[in-house]
Structure 1
């Protein structure tokens, strides 16, 4: 018999801050974390804005020496994981380490370390490369370092599926607990691609907004005037736990993870299936896995990146999945405030969805002033809204055609 899986710990690092309660209040208030980039000179860049995390030297939980051995993406993951553990109240010294694991995804991994190492190679030669370069830039550095920090010896891996990475990590953690392989998983994603190379690559792809003079209005999912997504960084980690295990230790349960659906578009390496077929299948499977119907869903936290193709494709996918029920749904994109955290986005949005379910309130889609003609659903425009939420979906879709949907419910 499959086990029930609940969410007992939340932790995130965002351009809006790191406090779960504080960032949640900012999201409900419609506050944007997008601003002019400060970490490097953007004079030669056509995009000069991002959801950047500044003045971050190890965060709240790492001293300077520990931080120096980690790329920023792993620093973000460590801090978000520690916050999730503290929020959960779990004491790993009292747990079987072989029953506790870590799955943290990243779309890119240690990009700053890669850039710094390449610069040193070109300027000073191979003999000056750091022995820490490989362990800092590898995509599994976040998962590995978190497991080492807590001495966890259960499942441990990193999932890489572009912007679906964190949601895949949470979904696979859910599967491991459900089938009885372990009791606890720290799952989510982390990304730190707001770097000279990261920004330049996405500009070359013609994917980013150029609304440099008005950064807080640059991310505008489903709006006719959107001109691309806003690159962001940070981490989102949840502590997943087997229900009876959580109940036995008296844990506060935020929400229940009920279903996990995934699919591939099989169409193009960057563009989504314009008809939303793959995304629809992921949502349909998540619903089937959870044992609920389209009529049961009250809210969807959309992937909603603020791109021309993506927002329309997701709207079509929702209509394909829900039919006439699509017009009874509330759908919002928190990326309108956080920007797009690439491989970390699904972790941030799973937390936002769990809090929406727990508190019966939906964060808004800000900057939605002139909806795209085909984007005619209820996107909770510009102001948060109270609504009884029993079941919700969190969608994450990535370059490569990776689609993931998580079904989250009230406990």
Structure 2
């Protein structure tokens, strides 16, 4: 018999908030956390705004040694993992076999913050062509190995089962959760601590997105800069963040009396094999991922009650998504509320997919669809119900979330209300 995957704990660290409750209040209020970059002087850059997390590692329980050793992306991941496993009740001292607990972490740019900082020191601010290794950190190797993100998360969770990093650009968060679901379904684990983390607010990352003009130039008005599906949009705001979810075999969760947010019933990932950064207008690639995920969930398209869009705020993505929703859901697409939380917290690359899945679980639990902020002038070509400006009360049973990433990656996931059996 197929095992059903349920969500028994979650934690989000995103711009504008220091915990999951603050995150949910902020996005349902339609408040933006985008601001002028404070991590470094952004003056030389085309795009000078971002979503930054006001993380106080010491207040989160990290020791000074951990703060010195861990990259920012690891700090975000571990902080979320500790909170998620505590909420789910799988901390040390429980009867759960640690060999049956696994970890799956999504990430796009690795330990970007620490690698860039180390290069600046070793090269003497870029003045030396040959770097001087006398000045390198003893933790430099860990920064170069993406697996360190999953290792630190596993240590924090007390997980001794399967541990992996999934890196597929901006779909990494959804894909890491999808991989975790598959491990539970096949019986390789009973519990998975899964999600994603990224801390790309660094000069090199900002410069890369500047070069392809994917990020907003609305530097004089950061809070209103990201405008998904708006006629005046001009790109996304780069951001950092993390989310970790505890996924569990439903019978395992039932036996220990765990509280359940919802169930993940379908997941799919496709590649367009088309262009490194480009998307076709017809939306076929994303539509295939949505249809495959719905098929796996055994859910009719007309059951979808909310779509958490990728909604990056670039013209080609917004048009691609709009067409994909119409192709996959047919006429029902016009009846479904859609929104993009990137309008408020920015685009945290590999982390955002996990943050959006957590948003779906919270939307189901609270019966609220968060809005798309800054949507004042809808693009006439984006003619669906993109929930502008204010949250909406909706009793939700089935939610669809999607991701789209450079390299042609397209992923979709179905999150449903848990009713004590297969929905």
Q: TM-score range by the shorter chain?
A: over 0.9
* Matching residue within 101, 120, 132 for 1:125: 132
Aligned to 2:156: 149
Counterparts of 1:151-300 in structure 2, within 5 Å, are 151-300=158-307
Aligned to 1:115: 116
- 8 Å CA contact retained: 1:59, 1:79: no
Deviations 1:111-170 (A, max 9, x none): 111112222332261232222112134222221111123331111000000000010000
Aligned to 1:91: 91
Q: CA deviation at 1:396?
A: 1.1
Distance 2:323 2:112 in 1: 34
Aligned to 2:147: 140
Question: Any gaps of 5 or more consecutive residues in structure 1?
Answer: none
Aligned to 1:68: 68
Q: CA deviation at 1:55?
A: 5.4
Distance 2:192 2:388 in 1: 35
Distance 2:39 2:21 in 1: 27
- 8 Å CA contact retained: 2:293, 2:412: yes
Aligned to 2:44: 44
RMSD: 1.2
Moved more, 131-140 or 214-223: 131-140
Look up the SS of the partner of 1:158 in the other structure.
Answer: strand
Look up the SS of the partner of 2:32 in the other structure.
Answer: coil
Counterparts of 1:24-39 in structure 2, within 5 Å, are 24-39=24-39
Look up the SS of the partner of 2:362 in the other structure.
Answer: helix
Moved more, 393-402 or 87-96: 87-96
Counterparts of 1:322-341 in structure 2, within 5 Å, are 322-341=329-348
- 8 Å CA contact retained: 1:221, 1:305: yes
Look up the SS of the partner of 1:169 in the other structure.
Answer: helix
Distance 2:58 2:290 in 1: 37
Aligned to 2:104: 103
Structure 1 length normalisation: TM-score? Answer: 0.98
- 8 Å CA contact retained: 1:105, 1:139: no
Question: Any gaps of 5 or more consecutive residues in structure 2?
Answer: 125-130, 419-423
- 8 Å CA contact retained: 1:32, 1:216: yes
- 8 Å CA contact retained: 2:312, 2:318: yes
* Matching residue within 397, 401, 409 for 1:402: 409
- 8 Å CA contact retained: 1:265, 1:401: yes
Give the number of equivalent residue pairs. Answer: 411
User: Is 1:346 paired with 2:353?
Assistant: yes
- 8 Å CA contact retained: 1:98, 1:154: yes
Look up the SS of the partner of 1:370 in the other structure.
Answer: coil
- 8 Å CA contact retained: 2:104, 2:176: yes
Q: 1:8 to 1:55 in 2, by over 3 A?
A: closer
Which contiguous aligned blocks of 4+ residues in structure 1 show a shift greater than 3 angstroms?
54-59
- 8 Å CA contact retained: 1:219, 1:335: yes
Distance 1:73 1:215 in 2: 23
User: Is 1:386 paired with 2:393?
Assistant: yes
Q: CA deviation at 1:43?
A: 1.6
Deviations 1:92-124 (A, max 9, x none): 432111110100011001111111222233226
Distance 1:23 1:142 in 2: 23
* Matching residue within 326, 329, 335 for 1:319: 326
- 8 Å CA contact retained: 1:59, 1:76: no
User: Is 1:4 paired with 2:11?
Assistant: no
Distance 2:67 2:254 in 1: 35
Look up the SS of the partner of 2:219 in the other structure.
Answer: coil
